[in-house]
Structure 1
Amino acid sequence: MKAWRVTEQGSVDGSPLQLVDEHMPRPTSGELLISVQACGVCRTDLHVVEGDLPIHRPHVVPGHEIVGAITEVGDNTETDFSVGDIVGIPWLRHTCGNCRFCVSGRENLCKASLYTGWDHNGGFAEYAVAPADYALALPTGYSTEELAPLLCAGIIGYSALRRAELPPSGKLGLYGFGASAHIVAQLAQADGATVHVMTRDLGARQLALKMGLASAQGTFDSPPEKLDAAIVFAPIGEAVPTALEAVDSGGTVVLAGIHMTDIPRLNYNRHLFHEKRLLSVEANTRVDARQFLERCQRTHLTIETTVYPFDRALFALRDLRHGRFAGAAVITF
């Protein structure tokens, strides 16, 4: 089979990935072999390839928004899935199941957690192996290209929105407007929220207005009204004080990225007083993922995608790096 491997971390404007031929993986007990049909291109992939995140597995195959058909079930695997089923393989791949986080429903904080496309090979390949217990049933009514971004961008956005505790008909600010934010905006809109977008990307602002959101302006511009909550998707630490100033008393700012540049010094009175809250979201639980995908079945979302053939995966990462598309990028096979 063919797969893209990280040969040496570095700028995607160079050649940190190589397309190689290798043996097809085989599923062991508890695993599924997936024929990959589509794989989303996430900013986390960019962080892994460019070195913002350390390499956990030498020459890893990136990609953790995988949609594909089960072609083989490992021996002695207990699962409701069968050969031929179309499933989703997300970022979270393994947790211990026994620590205080796992037993309290917070498996995303497990210290033994492992991740697709970072600790184990991911979906920038024709085939991938994944634990059956972490595979996800998918909603109907979406194409494979539309399903792929739901598996990280959608799930983490849903988790961030839930933690923001937006009141009914609340005012939400989104800092950065890529794959995750454009999904969150639709969820919030469906619940009656007013959504304001702050992003440096002009194409993303145009998409926000096309979607009927209340306003779209630059990252460091003030929204036209005080916010009840804000979610920072942009990996820019300088946006955090701006978001804290934009939320009203009692408001919440949620940081949704796995990597962010340093946050500047905060002023307590200006940024945190009046019971403002600042918190982060780490990965997701399987409960989060299933709840979100069930919500996608009830509330149909419009997923903006730019599709790249498998042999153009590096170009997809370059375009993500330079903001050359709005919405989500997806590799198809």
Structure 2
Amino acid sequence: MSTGSRDVATTRAWVVARAAPAAEHPLRLVERPLPGTGPNGMLVEVTACGVCRTDLHVAEGDLPTHLPACTPGHEIVGTVLRTGSAVAGFRPGDRVGAAWLARTCGACRYCRAGRENLCPHSRYTGWDIHGGYARQTVVDSRFAYRLPSGSSDAQLAPLLCAGIIGYRALERAELPPGGRLGIYGFGASAHLTAQLALARGATVHAFTRAEEARRLALELGAASAGGAYDSPPEPLDSAILFAPVGDLVPVALAALDRGGTLAIAGIHLTDVPGLDYQRHLFRERTLRSVTANTRADGRAFLAEVGAHPPAVHVQPYAMSRADEALADLAADRVTGAAVLLAD
């Protein structure tokens, strides 16, 4: 079914009215126009949207929005209402997922090499285009995902960024088979990545300041769970830094064994202090960043979790409480993943 420009004219949505600390409620609930689908777009009724730390960075101004009064949210699960004339593979009534990567040029050298996450013309959901903190949103079908069956919308939403980015970070960390992985910060992405690594046979050590998060890590099978700045009980082959805290970079590097790799998974990080070459980098330790994801990453991750579904720990909020969910995330009052549900 095609709509062209005959979409719902407006939608109820949260927007970043002004960048401010989450405790000051930078979001406002408004009625805003919906864009037309265009030939490749789909109008989607949002049933669930994960609350990602990137949304917090956007709302608080760490990542200034590229769109005035932008609607955050890029872990979107919903039902297709209408499709543009060129959409293939989706039809009204289908359950669909939309993630952070919203569009790439498809023509630059990065896109041609299968590295579309580095496309200089890339666009992102909830930053460059309106996202999922809304009743309806428009999604580019070429960047949408079919979702595994057997899981609720709330359980699937965090997979679409927390899960996919965690998957790419794990790949970038080059964890050897049966290796020892350190995870710094234990929120939405980390609790999914830990389960992925455990399913692959790794030993996982978690480091986080939140006591509830340490308990969750142990419940999920981590060999140890300590404070954010604690030393691991054994040298690490790989580490992933999820906490946006630059002070933890030298801590994680010092915990690596010879030849180990640290991958930094966040889009935002506070300043990194000076590194001591002998202690932090010598003996071929590697420091790597992680930038977004490719659609291939998303498809590979969703196929893997479809075969081995993780335990997704969800803290639900009504969509009308999006500002409260962000404030709770900022104050470390969320264990696992916060998810907004249609109300």
Q: TM-score, normalised by structure 2?
A: 0.96
Matches within 5 A, 1:6-25: 6-25=16-35
Letter in 2 for 1:296: V
Q: Which residue of 2 aligns with 1:229?
A: 238
Q: Which residue of 1 aligns with 2:206?
A: 197
Letter in 1 for 2:54: T
Q: Which residue of 2 aligns with 1:27?
A: 37
Determine the C-alpha separation between the residues in 1 that align with 2:161 and 2:183: 17
Letter in 2 for 1:129: V
Q: Which residue of 2 aligns with 1:146?
A: 155
Q: Which residue of 2 aligns with 1:96?
A: 105
* Corresponding residue SS for 2:269: coil
User: Conserved in 1, the CA contact under 8 Å of 2:41 and 2:87?
Assistant: no
1:124 maps to which of 133, 136, 139: 133
Q: Which moved more, 1:141-150 or 1:76-85?
A: 76-85
1:4 maps to which of 4, 14, 18: 14
Determine the C-alpha separation between the residues in 2 that align with 1:64 and 1:13: 21
User: Conserved in 2, the CA contact under 8 Å of 1:25 and 1:127?
Assistant: no
User: Conserved in 1, the CA contact under 8 Å of 2:25 and 2:327?
Assistant: no
Q: CA deviation at 1:17?
A: 0.7
Determine the C-alpha separation between the residues in 2 that align with 1:258 and 1:126: 27
Matches within 5 A, 1:245-256: 245-256=254-265
1:68 maps to which of 68, 71, 78: 78
Q: TM-score, normalised by structure 1?
A: 0.98
Matches within 5 A, 1:222-301: 222-301=231-310
How many residue pairs match? The answer is 332
1:163 maps to which of 144, 162, 172: 172
User: Conserved in 1, the CA contact under 8 Å of 2:190 and 2:242?
Assistant: yes
Q: Which moved more, 1:171-180 or 1:20-29?
A: 20-29
Determine the C-alpha separation between the residues in 2 that align with 1:185 and 1:16: 32
* Corresponding residue SS for 2:156: helix
Determine the C-alpha separation between the residues in 2 that align with 1:156 and 1:295: 14
Letter in 2 for 1:280: S
Q: Deviations over 1:170-223 (max 9, x none)?
A: 000000000000000001101110000001111100111111210000111001
Q: Deviations over 1:201-251 (max 9, x none)?
A: 111001111112100001110010000000000000000000000010000
> Which consecutive unaligned segments of at least 5 residues does structure 1 have?
none
Determine the C-alpha separation between the residues in 2 that align with 1:240 and 1:93: 30
User: Conserved in 1, the CA contact under 8 Å of 2:198 and 2:221?
Assistant: no
User: Conserved in 2, the CA contact under 8 Å of 1:38 and 1:330?
Assistant: yes
Q: CA deviation at 1:164?
A: 1.1
User: Conserved in 1, the CA contact under 8 Å of 2:34 and 2:138?
Assistant: no
* Corresponding residue SS for 1:8: coil
Matches within 5 A, 1:50-65: 50-65=60-75
Q: CA deviation at 1:22?
A: 3.1
Q: CA deviation at 1:23?
A: 3.9
1:305 and 2:314 are equivalent in the alignment: yes
* Corresponding residue SS for 2:24: coil
Letter in 2 for 1:215: S
Q: Deviations over 1:62-98 (max 9, x none)?
A: 0000000000001x21311111100100000010111
Q: Which residue of 2 aligns with 1:220?
A: 229
Determine the C-alpha separation between the residues in 1 that align with 2:19 and 2:130: 16
Structure 1 vs Structure 2: percent identity of aligned residues?
55
Q: CA deviation at 1:36?
A: 0.2
Determine the C-alpha separation between the residues in 2 that align with 1:301 and 1:83: 28
* Corresponding residue SS for 1:266: coil
> Which consecutive unaligned segments of at least 5 residues does structure 2 have?
1-10
Q: Deviations over 1:136-163 (max 9, x none)?
A: 0111111100000000000000000011
* Corresponding residue SS for 2:62: coil
Question: Once superposed, what is the RMSD of the aligned Cα atoms?
Answer: 0.8
Determine the C-alpha separation between the residues in 1 that align with 2:43 and 2:87: 14
* Corresponding residue SS for 2:22: coil
Determine the C-alpha separation between the residues in 2 that align with 1:321 and 1:269: 35
Determine the C-alpha separation between the residues in 1 that align with 2:167 and 2:300: 9
